[in-house]
Chains A and B, each alone.
Chain A
Amino acid sequence: MTKQEVIDVIKKNIVENLDDIKAEDIDPMKSMADYGANSLDIIEVVSCTMRELNIKIPRAELADIKNIDQLADRFVQNMNQSPQA
């Protein structure tokens, strides 16, 4: 899966969990907080995305990530480390 595809999954989950936002309006260089997400919303988007991508990273390791692009990098890194069947 490419990084762009991972970003698309994250965007889809942002749209599903936040009110009044469209995928095409989301800039990956921004943080979810810039789109009105509180800490709890961010955690839910991350959890849903990990489930969809079938990856499991201890949530505590994700606390310092600053924007959507960095989050996608971290997910891609995990997928490369443990290729899914």
Chain B
Amino acid sequence: MNRVGIEKLHLYLSTLCLDMRDLAAARDKDPDKVVSDYLIDRRTLLPPWEDTVTFGANAAVPIIAEEDRDAIGLLVVGTESSVDFGKPISTNIHRALKLGPNVRNFETKHACYSGVAALDTAVNYVASGHNRGKKALVISTDFSRMHLGLKEEFVMGGVSAAVLVSDQPKLVEFETMKKGTWTLDTYDTFRPSAKHEVGNNEVSLYSYLDALEGAYRDYLESAGGKVDFDAYFRFLVYHTPFAGMAFQAHRTLTNLFSPKPRPELKADFDRRVRPALKYSRQAGSTYGSSNFAGIMSILTGDTPPADGDRIGFYAYGSGAVGEFYSGRILGGAVELAKAGKLDAEIARRRVLPVAEYEKLEQLRESYIENPDFTPDRAAHNGLYDEHYRGRGRLVLAGVKDFYRTYEWS
């Protein structure tokens, strides 16, 4: 079996965001409590000329070099927010990124598990040797629907990720034989139409935790021998429908496998889990990109990890499936990750006032299933000129008779 892991990784958090304290104030909630419960500072917003195609492609642009284009043999896009029920957006992204014709492409769907379903396909493609030396590009791209005034409004958002998987990993190498999985048929959160994103929050939180426990126990069996929960994983990247959920996930595994008093639990959370939350705090819900946002957070964080540090990953998709797997950080990963200058890009995002955010969400909803529209590039007072024109980002030019046209800004 080939070695396999992440050679390159980049995230994209768009060019617009909403400050959660502003939203809390507008909805008569305590801003401090909203931020401390959900651990979200800002959530991503997409301007009218971005959709899940551009959102995904724009994550990949900074990391795909000319030699990668020829080396990629597989493109898998994970999403639950596709713009078409038949044609996969992997085809739009394939064209936009100018990949070669001998590339297999398709979309994966399983709520927030879609990104790791795509990753696992790529990992198996490379590890098995069926890749014949080629690489796989995994893209995860998801964005929430409109939730104005609803209680879920505080845990919406999105982040896209592009992950180049190969037999020459440079950031994280996966331990492919260690993996635990758990499945249950449930309706916790789901998207029964292109506009609806519905469900029951409590059912979803409970399913998430049932799946975590089930997947982790299955992982322990696959790992063989004894796993000391405190010592085995230097970091834990839990799926983050909102970053605050990571605390509950960690509390659940800790109580099962290494119970400790609350102050010690909090200290352990700060040391092993909080470093993975940097970008989910800026994105809001991270959907299928959760685990990738976690890796990038750890690698670019204030406490640099050491070579060989093990990360335990938990992925969850409503519906539901849970998966626990692991990987190890490779030497030089921190420098490579920081070279992407993601923090500077995020700092440049424009913060929208709540009223403007509400208008934007209503406009974006009017685009769903709309056969003819042209996104207004004059919206948001010069945003296009400032963040797009000449910057080589993919944008939606327009939709005519349902045909979508994209171009580079």
Q: Which of A16, A38, A60, A64 contacts B186 (CB 8 A)?
A: A60
A and B contact pairs by CB, cutoff 8 A, 29 listed: A38-B37, A39-B202, A39-B205, A40-B37, A40-B245, A40-B248, A42-B202, A43-B206, A43-B209, A43-B248, A44-B251, A47-B252, A47-B255, A48-B255, A51-B256, A58-B184, A58-B206, A59-B206, A59-B207, A60-B184, A60-B186, A60-B188, A60-B203, A60-B206, A60-B207, A62-B206, A63-B200, A63-B203, A63-B206
- Assess whether B205 is in contact with A40, with CB atoms less than 8 Å apart: yes
Which residue numbers of B lie inside 8 Å of A, CB to CB? 37, 184, 186, 188, 200-203, 205-207, 209-210, 244-245, 247-248, 251-252, 255-256, 262
| Chain A, Cβ-Cβ closest to B188 | A60
List, in ascending order, chain B residues with CB within 8 A of A42's CB: 202
Complex Cα distance A17/B245, Å? Answer: 16
On chain A, which size bracket covers the interface? 10 to 19
Complex Cα distance A38/B247, Å? Answer: 13
A residues 24-61 in Cβ contact with B at 8 Å: 38-40, 42-44, 47-48, 51, 58-60
List, in ascending order, chain A residues with CB within 8 A of B203's CB: 60, 63
Which residue numbers of A lie inside 8 Å of B, CB to CB? 16-17, 38-40, 42-44, 47-48, 51, 58-60, 62-64
Complex Cα distance A40/B251, Å? Answer: 10
List, in ascending order, chain A residues with CB within 8 A of B200's CB: 63
A13 to chain B, nearest CB (A): 11
Complex Cα distance A24/B268, Å? Answer: 31
Q: Which of B209, B255, B262 contacts A59 (CB 8 A)?
A: B209
List, in ascending order, chain A residues with CB within 8 A of B188's CB: 60
- Assess whether B210 is in contact with A63, with CB atoms less than 8 Å apart: no
A2 to chain B, nearest CB (A): 25
- Assess whether B262 is in contact with A16, with CB atoms less than 8 Å apart: yes
Q: Which 8 A-B pairs have the closest CB atoms?
A: A59-B206, A63-B202, A63-B203, A40-B248, A60-B206, A60-B207, A59-B210, A38-B37
| Chain B, Cβ-Cβ closest to A36 | B33
